[in-house]
Amino acid sequence: MIRIENLHKAFGDQRVLQGVTLEVPSGEIVIVIGRSGGGKSVFLRHLLGLLQPDSGRILVDDVDITGLRGRALDRVRERYGVVFQGGALFDSMTVFDNVAFPLREKSALSPQEIQDRAEEKLAQVGLAGMGHKDPAEISGGMKKRVAIARALVTEPEIVFFDEPTTGLDPVLVNAIHHLILDLHRKFRFTAIMVSHEIPEIFQIAHRVAMLHDGVIVEAGDPKTIQGSANPVVQQFIRGEIEGPIRAT
Amino acid sequence: MNTEPSTAFLGPVESLGRASLDIVGSLGRFGLFLAQAVAWTFIPPFKFRQLLERVHFIGFRSLSIIILTGAFTGMVLGLQVFLTLVRFGSEAFLGPAVALSLIRELGPVLAALMVTGRAGSALTAEIGIMRITEQIDALTVMALNPVRYLIVPVIVAGFITFPLMTAIFDVVGIFGGYLVGVKLLGLSEGTYFGEMRTFVDMADIMTGFWKSLSFGVIVTWVCTYKGYYTGHGAEGVSRATTQAVVLSSVLILVWDYFLGSVLP
């Protein structure tokens, strides 16, 4: 269980998070939606320990990670897998080496076991036989798949997805979502995803939370969110121009 | 009415204060960055593969530019020093003059400037691009320290390669001076090298060595720091690369003067 309590963060005069409170039950897929530039990625970076909040707590299985540094924080991160928005693949390595990298650096597996595990993960994301290619040689959709394979190769308990389908066509968006869902059924990890792929996310999320003006204005299962009486939520999921959210 | 003068006065003071704090903060971060890299250098496991790759990139791949600039620097020195010495009838001292200029000053400084231009700028751009494409964040969330993984091999490689590059620059430069002084201008080979043995001693070589060693640290420190803390987007990387080359070059010259005045 991940519990975020009253998280605040400001950059100078710009208050990005103004008291975010959210619970992420173990083994569930929780998707955070909200406007572009609304602080979703900032929120995610706090959970990863890449940003420190001005106030508030982030509890990962009752361990407050906001005060952790160095090895103590790394011990929590060893339970994480992260899919970054642009993939963040190491461009000096091949696709295979990218996937094998976390195992080579952090595990005690033999070279043969690492090769088997990396090839298995590449096959699971539909990229068997593509390991020899450089990241620059593959398409955007393939890069996302490689990033997912790399995030899952250590079999993490918690996986973070930062807009894993941004910039992809609708077919690929669905393919990536179904891939995440399949992998989740197989490995039962806890997933926190930041996305604004509406309505597609309602098919894969256990819970959806809407971040607006620095707070979670509504959280619940997809049906609750879709039927929400909150005008902000309704305007956002319908993509309407008129409403409380100003199209700036 | 009463608050106007104080408000007008406070604006520039506030700006000055903020700028001073920014400078102090940046200097502190700059120093901490090196301290962190030095600390991680001695903590296993050591990244030998990355170190070898960086030695190859900074050293081996700079070899052609070092040989080229070393040769022409020696040739220019040979020509100009010969034309000056001949006025005093002292052309026999061409060998030591070329060798001392190269070993004590020009070798370490020009080799460092050349490696900064070729490898330093590329290192800043590479690390900067890793920053803006979240590759450094990816390392961090994999619980791999990016300073240990990316920065330490570069700084250690600078420590190893700069003295070697300087030695090659010096040797090639001395033979460049030989080519002009002996082969073109008719000085005897025995005079060129014989006088060099008389006047160049170990202290001169050590001066050049200490300079090149410290330049290796300065250049790799500045270039990796600028890349690591690059600004946003392509413009941020471009600015960081320019700043890295300019700051490295200025620091090389300032530090050269400082070391030149304290070393024997």
Q: How many residues does chain A have?
A: 248
| CA–CA separation, A184 and A188 (whole Å) | 5
B155-179 pLDDT tens trace = 999 999 999 999 999 999 999 999 9
**Has residue B197 got a pLDDT over 90?**
no
- Cβ contacts of B137 on chain A, cutoff 8 Å: 45, 48, 50, 84, 88
Name the one residue in this structure whose structure tokens are 């014989």: B194
Residues 6 or more apart whose CB falls under 8 angstroms from that of A120 comprise none
Domain boundaries, chain B: 1-43, 46-262
What is the H or E stretch that residue A210 is in?
strand A207-212
Distance CA(B233)–CA(B235), nearest Å, equals 5
What rounded mean pLDDT belongs to chain A?
A: 90
CA–CA min distance A98, chain B (Å): 11
Tokens at residue B160, please?
Answer: 């190893």
Per-residue confidence (pLDDT) for residue B1, from 0 to 100: 45
Interface of A with B in 50-79 (CB under 8 A): 50, 74-75, 77-78
Task: Say how far apart CA B101 and CA B207 lie, in whole Å.
Answer: 12
Written as one string, the DSSP assignment of B48-101 is HHHHHHHHHHHTGGGHHHHHHHHHHHHHHHHHHHHHHHGGGT-GGGHHHHHHHI
Peptide bond just before B5 cis, omega within 30 deg: no
Q: What is the arithmetic mean of pLDDT over B106-133?
A: 95
Give the amino acid at B84: T
Determine, for residues B141 and A74 on separate chains, whether the beta-carbon distance falls below 8 Å.
no
- Nearest chain A CA: its distance from B133 CA (Å): 6
Res B3 pLDDT > 60: no
Q: How close is the nearest chain B Cα to the Cα of A52, in Å?
A: 14
d(Cα A14, Cα A243) in Å, to the nearest integer?
Answer: 23
C-alpha–C-alpha distance, residues A21 and A63, integer Å: 16
Assign A155 to helix, strand or coil. coil
Instruction: List residues bridging with A136 in a β-sheet.
Output: none
Residue B36 CB-half CA count within 13 A: 17
Q: Which residue has the higher pLDDT, A179 or A206?
A: A206
Pick the more confident residue, A244 or A115.
A115
pLDDT of residue A248: 63
Q: Which residue of chain A is at minimal alpha-carbon distance from B141?
A: A77
> Residue B191's CB: how many other CB atoms inside 10 A?
16
Which residues have C-beta within 8 Å of that of residue B128, sequence separation ≥ 6?
Answer: B226, B227, B228, B230, B236, B237, B240, B241
Among the residue ranges B14-18, B116-120, B136-140, the one predicted with the least confidence is B14-18
Encoded tokens for B152: 């330490």
- Tell me which residues of chain B, numbers 61 to 90, contact chain A at a CB-CB cutoff of 8 Å: none
Of A88, A25, A31, residue with least CA distance to A101: A88
pLDDT tops 90 at residue B123: yes
Phi, psi of B163, deg, nearest 5: -60, -35
- Residues in CB range of B134: below 8 A, 6 or more apart: A84, A85, A86, A88
Assign A173 a pLDDT band (cuts: 50, 70, 90): confident
- The pLDDT, as a whole number, for residue A53 is 94
Residues in chain B with CB shorter than 8 Å from the CB of A101 are 142
Shortest CA gap B140–chain A (Å): 8
DSSP class of residue B46 equals: P
Q: Name the percent of chain B in helix, strand, coil, to the closest 5.
A: 90, 0, 10
CA B32 remoteness from chain centre: 20
B142 touches chain A (CB under 8 A): yes
With cut-offs at 50, 70 and 90, classify the pLDDT of residue A46.
very high
The one-letter code for the residue type at B150 is: L
B135 touches A at CB < 8 Å: yes
Do B137 and A48 count as a contact with CB atoms less than 8 A apart? yes
Q: How many CB atoms lie within 10 A of CB B6?
A: 9
Q: Are the CB atoms for B164 and B61 separated by under 8 Å?
A: no
Separation of alpha carbons B8 and B179, rounded Å: 68
Look at residue B156 and give its three-state secondary structure: helix
Strand segments (E) across A61-96 = 63-64, 80-83
Neighboring chain B residues of A78 at a CB cutoff of 8 Å: 143
- The whole-angstrom separation of Cα B41 and Cα A195 is 40
Half-sphere exposure for A221 (CA within 13 Å, toward CB): 3
- pLDDT bin (cut points 50, 70, 90) of residue A199 is confident
- Distance between CA atoms of residues A206 and B70, nearest Å: 67
